[in-house]
């Protein structure tokens, strides 16, 4: 289904930007905790597989329709971020150790689902 400019509302763009920032934060913290350089190119090299996964999650869930929804949007974006991100890392011979998959899954769940849960709580008050 094509996306027209009328569907990319300010809330959808804000949610997409928030997801991108969450993935970049995850990758930056990971690089720092492993004493890897915190350069733009280094962070980009770590983040791109996960950002492709985030984009896939947005497309599969039609996230622009309900961008802050925990279900289905948040869960789809989170799962695609991890699954596609790990698959692309594996295809490019990057680290995909079981412990990394667990840490990445938990960290991205906290970030990608956490902001949506917080937004839901704030809008219900």
- Looking at the domain assignment, is residue 17 inside a domain? yes
Q: Is 69 helix (H, G, I), strand (E, B) or coil?
A: coil
Contact call for residues 81 and 48 (beta carbons, < 8 A): no
In the prediction, which pLDDT does 35 show?
80
- Looking at the domain assignment, is residue 2 inside a domain? no
Range of the domain at 46: 10-120
- The DSSP 8-state label assigned to residue 90 in this structure reads H
Q: pLDDT-derived band of residue 1, with 50, 70 and 90 as boundaries?
A: very low
- Looking at the domain assignment, is residue 54 inside a domain? yes
Phi, psi of 67 (to 5 degrees): -65, -30
Count of domains for the chain: 1
- Looking at the domain assignment, is residue 4 inside a domain? no
> Length of the chain in residues, anyone?
125
- Closest by CA to 19, choosing from 44, 60, 52, is 52
Convert the pLDDT of each residue in 81-108 to its tens digit: 999 999 999 999 998 999 999 999 999 9
pTM for the full model?
0.91
């Amino acid at each position: 289904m094509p996306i027209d400019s009328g569907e990319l509302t300010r809330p959808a763009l804000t949610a997409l930007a928030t997801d991108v920032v969450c993935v970049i934060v995850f990758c930056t913290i990971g690089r720092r905790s492993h004493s890897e350089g915190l350069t733009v190119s280094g962070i980009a090299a770590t983040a791109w597989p996960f950002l492709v996964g985030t984009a896939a999650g947005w497309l599969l869930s039609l996230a622009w329709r309900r961008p802050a929804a925990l279900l289905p949007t948040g869960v789809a974006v989170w799962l695609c971020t991890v699954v596609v991100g790990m698959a692309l890392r594996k295809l490019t011979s990057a680290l995909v150790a079981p412990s990394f998959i667990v840490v990445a899954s938990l960290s991205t769940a906290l970030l990608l689902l956490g902001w949506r849960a917080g937004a839901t709580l704030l809008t219900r008050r």
